[in-house]
Structure 1
């Protein structure tokens, strides 16, 4: 059986589906458009000459629904002005009217309060307690709204009923902010009551996004910057925050996790380099403004406030030489403006089970049926290659190997935090515990983490703070090899009569169960701390910040295998210390002139130093193994090995960025960064990476006024810039020397003498090794329609990477095999689409859906520049599967065009080296012979044609249901199928025998009665054996989460401020023809682990 099939849509139909998706949202939105904000949407025309301000305000009131509140004694409304405006928003008109006056005004939809800016003379007399209620667009109370006195640290947060109380002076401004709502400002007057009706900010234009060395309003962005949706981070069972982002962000690719506590591989917008390893495509990770070198699994996902991703060269250029693969910015939680400390506790328990058993080995009865079918009319028992297997076959013995080494896993997770703020001090403390058991026995991971984030206002010009965490991790335990366990026949005894594991199985393999006797202790520590100070300089808008961070990481891995080194015992003690520190000096200038010209300038000067030291000691052939790795001296002294080392590297960088906005319509950003890195050659230590970007908010233009009823926002963006990659070893540019240990592989002087320790040059120097540079163009459009009920963006990018860091082969006569150098060029381009729609929005029921789509393809433009065959076209590097004009990930092999049948043998048309049941391959050069040189071709590409994801959130009163569907379409990968697992061989009597088990999905093989099988016959491969490649198309129900939040009336009785119960599932169903572990990662039969389904129950309590 091929499993569940899913219809795969070609790209042309995929775009049609996207159009239908947009149409459905549009039609649904027309039925539920609420009244828009009057003050935000109304535009007025006004023409007055030498008229008092009082008369002008009266005329505005007569021609609109606005009305003004002010004190004649405090605001000069008798001054005369002249004004001629056409279709201006009220805020802009008031800016023009009071351009020369020290007044402020606050808009509350139709009510406008005007008051003096400087109320110093009357503040004390008018200071009072202000209270009120904050509600949403449906007049429902909004708890958790931040209420701040502008320019101070005084603040409050609304309670269950949306109520707040705060002390403020008359003339001061209250700022009301809430995620997803438009920020509102109200000036305190004589009234002690201020009620607010918050309005949705569907585009999030008022939200601030982390852009590196600072923040920026979303409305001011000119590059490809996206904020990941991590709202349900605590409900979905992921140990690492990276797993939670899988499929949710267009252009972000997240790989597999094969072991407990492991970080998945990630890449942004595909592959820019010729190297295909994880490190070659890994984006730069920045945590709380500091480049982070540790494992992301060490970060507690419950501590994360936001994840922002810089995808284009312009946005990422601020990090210069390390940003060619994009940048991921992670910001952790800080103290919030609240009246009392808030304690939050989350607990969850997850059960993990494999999503498929197709690659499990067959058990005794099933394998008997399989072999009877595979060898009709033969005595299968006699074909087994050991007597013990033949005995087990006769007695229906089943060793249960797979059940011994595997089992359901779990994730046990607990997090608690305390968060609060006084007027001048904010704090966030947290602690977490995670316990993971993987699918394979002894695959375990435990971690304990603590975090402390503090910030304090020392005085009006100085603030200080720190972000620090410590994580202790335990990876101890040795797991047996799952791939070898798949091959062991079920009739083979695994244990001796005394119950101890047998050493050798089937005359060939070391018993995988012996790995369970290994004493393995793997402990790690990660300590991170960043301290910073912010200074307001005497010049208005000019600020200085200094960051000093340190990251100290240790690993101590001790292991002793009593069955290692040919059963004489093998042990080691390995320890390493990784330490890096960073010092950043950041100068920023932010200023707005007449509310039209907005400037944000940033200068950075920084230095980073990284050191690594290690000590590795191992021994074998133990005379006494009682103390194991704690007595390595018990090993054979002639075989003991000790390695120690220490390495270091330094970076020095400067960066300048200027952001300019004119009238909230025209945006310009320019960045230049200069990097120095000690790891590069003498002639190439410095790299310069500039970028420029521009944006045009078309919807703010007067000629767009007629579209206000359906088009809310439209911005075009474009950027061009360069970034770098410095993926070289610390000493790759230098000639390195290695020593040969005496008594092992030392050099012998003379005949029969004792080997002597020697030193020799291990690698060649290359003083011209320099930066790999990626230059990229990005164009994008952001939009919002139908009162922002439908919103999204479209991005197109085109990158070119040159001077690629690559190890090329050199003639053996040099004494070396390769040398690192800069070669070639790779082009990389793609399209990304993100859409979000509010299908239904009512007081009790809401339905929001989002859609992401990405398509990426790269192309090798140049490799070595050689043309050895003289045809005028640059040569391919076939041995490395690199072809000019093709992507970096190609499937290059013989083309399977069928299966040789018995009728072909009877007709004598089967070439030499083939027989019935072997693959028929194409003779591309029509020579009648087959060779790897002339008969292999490009069969496809490993990268998918496109990816898409669909998320839906349904909210009904206190219930919320979230679903996410993830899919890739296209892309081939090698499939290690039945044809590779079962093969024939001969014994001493020249008879066929059977020695390997088969996995449960391996029934569809060739026989004379099954000529159209998926895999070749079991008689063995032909002389020319092609690999089997299959499409990895799939659609997966990846995440489902159902939560219930207790009603506020019930919560009041419990003493909790919030209590949420949730159940969730991950990887619940996958529709695919792929028969391996996971189609997303292309794992067939490998040493990886099955894709695991997760079932979680949990709760979140706040009080």
Structure 2
């Protein structure tokens, strides 16, 4: 009996072994083609074992060993309709795939992790893939979005390593409550991020970026949705064997604009001309420059130490600095668990020359960043999905301690403002000692000494984020029902420390030398300083921010024949706490809300959506804390109607949609509890009492409280059209939007000064914002070797202050009401005074400027109210500093293994003030620029582009002359790459190999500015901003 059982078991094992062997050896091969032939890069995998898959080669061929018993394979590729093929009993297949001309496969991301098919979406949404973002070598994610997304307004103000991220808005600005009040809500994998945190995010981790632009998509965020929402989804693992990808990039960074300055002789010649125009003797006024043959020495440069001509831009800045980026990621998994793990390193060098390298430290700018991410998806059962994400970054930002000596200005401030003259002193004396002026308080100090010896400020920052989410299908209750719970925690930490020379304040003990002509020696600039100050280490500010988010929701999605229903009910709480050690301040606050959303469509033809967020914020008093923000949207896929489908066949999809709703904005004050009473002590706040008068410290309420402060509320309407034509080759999206923002926190300007107390702000202001967007894309596969794409988008947004409660003005051009946010005011220039008759008949200037100080060639201004006087009543509206138009144009192609793409981006219809540094020449210790050479003289009167240079004070008044159109078009980005063919890659035992070069901020195609300032940073360049950077980058990507 035992032998019978033994042999029976042995027989079963043998049968099982041969069945398993036969199953493993079951192989199928074939080709995947479209109308043009074989399609490379198509995913082919087994439905039963989704991690068992392959991709088609250059000719569309594939071979796949099947493991399962069902023999069902899935054929999937972007731009095509996914196919399911029954391969039972077959060894070869010829598969034809069809273009997804209607976008049936396209999925868009919505708020709180929701997704919907693009064909049934009724909201205003734009998105971009992570692959497109990675075509830009910029280290900051938001910089890579400019020009690519309609409705996305951005301007990069600085190129400083670690601080070069652009500020941005969605569909312009709808409030004047401050810069923080205009920022969109940013969500990264269900965690709220700040603008600075997004700036530190590694673009290699990003799967997609989506912006939500109308009330139907943002109302679910309630008091946070009025400025739009930017949603970033990071990459996740897919079933299959581990895929390891390594990227290494090295980039060259160069300033986009390197200002040109005049040499010492030219600048001094202008100074002599100015002094002469004031009827003074230059040799008497400035003997150090104009006595004897002094000026001739400057011209010939025969003695560069005593008669220098220094270009400080060239002396201080390198031509090129380096940027390096390394990424390593691995993804894969099985049917049960999938993972994506990424490590990243970024190094950005500074543009200053390395003067401090011999001091044992670096005072140059630099930024080093380390990023990591682990995204894990687990499906322990077919109905339960668990998500575990852990990510973070560590960053070090270094800056010069750049406020040394007794001036307090930074080197870039001195450079932009023309405060470093070329003729005052050389960089070094012949013996190698650092040169200086004898009076650095009058003539700005040598920046080389500052950068060499002053020290540095270093900021350490880290960010840690964790997300745990569980989704349980509840089909046993009713099909399509699911419950979801999420908890996320984010911690952001920053610490700053300084290493600097000893000394008080900005008067540091730094040695530099002046030439003593009497003793023919080089003496310290400060007579009592004979040695360099010691290095002193200082602790700085410490700031931590913690954010905890809890979510619980029920999802429902089900079809009943031609009726499709979806619903969401969600509870949400976010707790934000910030600690600042320097002020011992902590302002925790909560945002709580209930969100609901219901969607219905019939045959994907008639579309209806309703959403609402009932939200509250601790930033407001308890009785003013909660409000309902509802929104509704409808859509009609006209192309699904028989009368349309049967007669207009070149149109693949045509949808019209509209939405209306309310959204809110709680970012309206610098303090979380701005509504509450505050008390303060100090001088003048004491009282006296007692038989023996004693002064005791008292308390006062400096500003009255306002417990009625609440959020801004926005009425938001949108009408849009989505269109696809010519077999999906041409797509178009157009939107018109109208926003009306109320309850903007404002100063009550109509209260009289005799009120007797400092009054709080009130929710009084109203701003409307209207505009349109147009996005057109053309894509075509010419043949199997050649594909082409082109995209153009334009956004127009124009805001107007409807009400601000400002004091009554005598004339309409003085009022901000009726003007846009960002309105600029000043005198209206009317050319130059060309004749003595014009000069003597000119309106009187009520700025106490003597007539003798206004000369031929001086600026003249329009007398707007015709009262014969130029005063503040003539300082009218000049324009806005916010662009009304933004445009983007991108195109590219692939040919065999080559790919090429490029992007142009621009902004129009706004003005920029550019006078800072241009009038520097009016002081004897300042620098002139070529623009000054177009000055008015009797000879050049007809063609002059600059006022006379006598130093007339009215030339420096804020006027339209010093404003220029800010319009520009920039070659923003380009990339060229080569992907090695599969047979070469296989010989190298790799999965893929690609070489590429790309560039960012490549050049200005057009700018309206008459001077050297970059149009994006022009608003703040004069304040000492780090120059914008052009980046040319070379990289390699290896797949293992």
Q: Is the TM value for this pair above 0.5? A: yes
**1:237 corresponds to 2:237:** no
CA 1:467–1:759: 2 relative to 1, 3 Å:
farther
Post-superposition Cα deviations, 1:491-525, rounded to whole Å, max 9, x if no partner, equal: 22367988467595262546555653134221011
Residue 588 of structure 2, aligned match among 640, 643, 648: 648
1:759 deviates by 5.1
Structure 1: distance between partners of 2:979 and 2:248: 15
> Does the 8 Å CA contact 1:309/1:327 hold for their aligned counterparts?
yes
132, 135, 156: which one aligns with 2:53: 156
Aligned to 1:963: 902
Residue number in structure 1 paired with 2:421: 489
* Residue 242 of structure 2 corresponds to residue 341 of structure 1: yes
Whole-angstrom distance in 2 between the partners of 1:739 and 1:501: 49
Alignment partner, residue 514 of structure 2: none
Matches within 5 A, 1:778-857: 778-808=718-748, 817=758, 819-838=760-779, 841-857=782-798
**Compared with structure 1, are the counterparts of its residues 166 and 690 closer, same or farther at alpha carbon in structure 2 (3 Å cutoff)?**
farther
Q: Given the alignment, which residue of 396, 401, 409 partners 1:474?
A: 396
Which residue in the other structure is 2:212 paired with? Answer: 310
492, 495, 501: which one aligns with 1:553: 492
3-state SS of 2:984 partner: helix
Q: Superposed, which structure 2 residues align to 1:402-413 within 5 Å?
A: 402-407=313-318, 408-413=320-325
Which residue pairs with 2:611 in the alignment?
671
Pair 1:192–1:320, CA change in 2 (3 A): farther
Q: Show the counterpart of 2:991.
A: 1057
1:205 aligns with one of 98, 101, 104: 104
CA RMSD of aligned residues (A): 3.4
Say whether the 8 Å CA contact 1:687–1:771 is kept in structure 2.
Answer: no
SS in 2 for 1:271: coil
On the 8 A contact 1:143/1:162 being kept in 2, the answer is no
Residue matched to 1:71: none
Q: Given the superposition, is the C-alpha separation of residues 956 and 883 from structure 1 closer, same or farther in structure 2, using an over 3 Å criterion?
A: same
Question: What's the CA shift for 1:472?
Answer: 0.5
Instruction: Tell me which residue corresponds to 1:733.
Output: 675
Equivalent positions of 1:1066-1081 (< 5 A) are 1066-1070=1000-1004, 1071-1074=1006-1009, 1075-1081=1011-1017
5+ residue gaps, structure 1, are: 1-122, 617-642, 985-993
Shift of 1:833: 0.5
SS in 2 for 1:683: helix
- Counterpart CA distance in 1 for 2:601 and 2:65 is 34
Tell me the secondary structure at the aligned position of residue 228 of structure 1: strand
Aligned counterparts of 2:740 and 2:128: Cα–Cα separation in 1: 26
Cα distance, 1:573 vs. partner?
Answer: 2.0
Q: Distance in 2 between matches of 1:954 and 1:135?
A: 22
C-alpha distance in structure 1 between counterparts of 2:463 and 2:929, whole Å: 41
Mapped partners of 1:1022, 1:658: distance in 2? 65
CA contact (8 A) 1:1077 1:1085 kept: no
Equivalent residue in structure 2 for 1:448, among 367, 370, 386: 370
Task: Determine the structure 1 residue equivalent to 2:264.
Answer: 364
Q: Which residue of 2 aligns with 1:590?
A: 557
Distance in 2 between residues matched to 1:500 and 1:756, nearest whole Å: 55
Moved more, 814-823 or 694-703: 814-823
Q: CA deviation at 1:682?
A: 3.1
Kindly tell me: are residues 278 and 896 of structure 1, through their superposed partners in 2, closer, same or farther at Cα, counting changes over 3 Å?
same
Contact 1:685–1:770 (CA<8 Å) still a contact in 2? yes
Contact 1:235 1:1062 in 2 (8 A): no
Q: 2:802 aligns with which of 853, 856, 861?
A: 861
Q: Which residue is equivalent to 1:298?
A: 200
* Unmatched runs of 5 consecutive residues or more in structure 2: 1-19, 354-363, 403-409, 510-535
CA contact (8 A) 1:209 1:217 kept: yes
- 2:950 counterpart (997, 1019, 1026): 1019
Deviation at 1:760, TM superposition (A): 4.4
Matched-pair contact (CA < 8 Å) for 2:764–2:804:
yes
Offset at 1:385?
8.4
Residues 287 and 876 (structure 1 numbering): CA distance in 2 closer, same or farther, change over 3 Å?
farther
Q: 2:242 & 2:168 partners in 1: Cα distance? A: 37
In structure 2, C-alpha distance between the alignment counterparts of 1:972 and 1:511, rounded to whole Å? 34
Output the CA distance in 2 between the equivalents of 1:747 and 1:433. 57
The C-alpha deviation readout for 1:628-656, integer Å capped at 9, x for no partner, is: xxxxxxxxxxxxxxx32222101111100
Query: Is the 8 Å Cα contact of residues 175 and 185 (structure 1) preserved in structure 2?
Result: yes
Partner deviation per Cα, 1:211-248 (whole Å, 9 max, x = no partner): 11211111111010111254233332111111111111
* Larger displacement relative to structure 2 (1066-1075 or 127-136): 127-136
Q: Deviations over 1:163-217 (max 9, x none)?
A: 2536476667544322222222334544355543233325543122111121111
Is the partner of 2:399 in helix, strand or coil? coil
Tell me if the contact between 2:271 and 2:921 (Cα under 8 Å) persists in the aligned partners: no
2:937 to 987, 1004, 1007: 1007
1:418 corresponds to = 330
- CA distance in 2: counterparts of 1:381 and 1:707, whole angstroms: 89
**Offset at 1:1098?**
1.0
The 3 A distance-change label for structure 1 pair 257 and 753 is farther
Counterpart of 1:605 in 2: which secondary structure? strand
Q: How many angstroms apart in 2 are the aligned matches of 1:283 and 1:272?
A: 11
| Post-superposition CA distance 1:269-301 (Å, at most 9, x none) | 0111123x4322111111112322361122110
Distance across 2 between alignment mates of 1:403 and 1:215: 53
2:451 is the alignment partner of 1:524: no
1:937 positional shift: 2.2
Contact 1:968 1:1080 in 2 (8 A): no
Q: Which of 386, 398, 403 is residue 309 of structure 2 equivalent to?
A: 398
Counterpart pick for 2:172 among 260, 265, 270: 270
Pair 883,558 (structure 1): closer, same or farther in 2 beyond 3 Å: same
Counterparts of 2:287 and 2:646, CA distance in 1: 84
Q: How far apart are the structure 2 equivalents of 1:760 and 1:604?
A: 45
Change (3 A) 1:212 1:520: same
| CA contact 2:130–2:204 (8 Å) conserved in 1 | no
What residue is the counterpart of 1:216 in the other structure? 116
* Deviates most, 507-516 or 396-405: 507-516
Cα 1:902–1:862 shift into 2, 3 Å: same
Distance in 2 between residues matched to 1:439 and 1:868, nearest whole Å: 50
Partner of 1:321: 223
Secondary structure, aligned partner of 1:315: helix
- Report the 3-state secondary structure (helix = DSSP H, G, I; strand = E; otherwise coil) of the residue aligned with 1:483: helix
Farther-moved stretch of structure 1 (185-194 vs 298-307): 185-194
**1:410 offset after TM fit, Å?**
2.6
Query: What is residue 614 of structure 1 aligned with on the other side?
Result: 580
Structure 1 residues 591 and 1068: CA distance shift in structure 2, 3 A: same
Structure 1 equivalent of residue 705 of structure 2: 765
- The separation in 2 between residues aligned to 1:471 and 1:385, in whole angstroms, is 59
CA contact 1:363–1:400 (8 Å) conserved in 2: yes
Deviates more, 1:824-833 or 1:559-568: 559-568
Tell me, in whole angstroms, the C-alpha distance in 2 between the residues paired with 1:343 and 1:405: 43
Alignment of 1:368-379 (within 5 A): 368=268, 371=271
- Summarize the Cα distance change of 1:861–1:1016 in structure 2 as closer, same or farther, 3 Å threshold: same
Structure 1 window deviating more from structure 2 (800-809 vs 362-371): it is 362-371
More relative contact order, 1 or 2 (CA 8 Å, 6+ apart): 2
- What CA distance in whole angstroms lies between the structure 2 residues aligned with 1:285 and 1:997? 44
Match of 1:21 in 2: none
**Secondary structure, aligned partner of 1:826:** strand
TM-score with structure 2 setting the length: 0.83
Partner of residue 1027, structure 2: 1090
For 1:279 and 1:610, the matched residues in 2 are separated by 16
Q: 1:888 aligns with which of 811, 821, 837?
A: 821
Q: 1:130 to 1:196 in 2, by over 3 A?
A: farther
Moved more, 1056-1065 or 975-984: 975-984
Quickly say closer, same or farther: Cα 1:353–1:817, change in 2 above 3 A: farther
Return the alpha-carbon distance in structure 2 between the equivalents of residues 757 and 148 of structure 1. 80
Question: Contact (CA 8 Å) 1:732, 1:820: kept in 2 or not?
Answer: no
